[in-house]
Structure 1
Amino acid sequence: MKVTVVRSGGFAGIEQRAECDSARDPMLVRLVDRVDLGTVPPPGRIPDQFLYEIDIDGDRTTVGEAQLNGPLRELVHHVLGHAR
């Protein structure tokens, strides 16, 4: 399983991209199992907020920083923390 996270927006508009693969990161499976992308609310219209595009094996969603919480936040921070 591959998870890709792209963070964009913010005041400076700098993009950060990271990808993790469960073949090399066994914790990734446990984090993904706790996430349901179908229940993620759309990003609110907040100026200069970060937007996170999340792709889990082709299942994609975009979430705003204000809506990023719980297991989804843990997943995003895990993937971005292991950026290559």
Structure 2
Amino acid sequence: MKLVVVRSGGIAGMRRKWSSEVSSQEAEERWLPLLQDPPSADPPAGVPDRFTYEIWVGQNAVTIPEASLKGGWRELVDRARQGSGEARHA
């Protein structure tokens, strides 16, 4: 199953895309449950130019603000980056 993350926004408004193939089992056990209960898509007030993440697991998608990229969400983005051959940027 395809795992795709598209990051957009920031000062320059650049888009980055990472993707990885994951097993159906990994998707069903780890990633799809996250998409069932996404954090608020509203960015925090007073924080301009933050990134937004559009996250796809198969045909399921959510969009979350950078401030919500914690815990399992961070792991999911890191997993997509690893599949694209890119390490996490701190």
TM band (smaller chain): 0.7 to 0.9
- Unpaired stretches in structure 1, ≥5 consecutive residues: none
1:28-78 CA distance string (max 9 Å, x none) = 927x61551122122315310000000001110001000111011111022
Q: SS of the counterpart of 1:76?
A: helix
Number of equivalences: 81
Partner letter of residue 37 of structure 2? T
Q: Which residue of 2 aligns with 1:79?
A: 80
TM score, norm. by length of structure 2: 0.74
- Root-mean-square deviation (Å): 2.5
TM score, norm. by length of structure 1: 0.78
Partner letter of residue 43 of structure 1? D
- Unpaired stretches in structure 2, ≥5 consecutive residues: 86-90
- Identity value in percent: 34
Q: SS of the counterpart of 2:72?
A: helix
The separation in 2 between residues aligned to 1:81 and 1:20, in whole angstroms, is 7
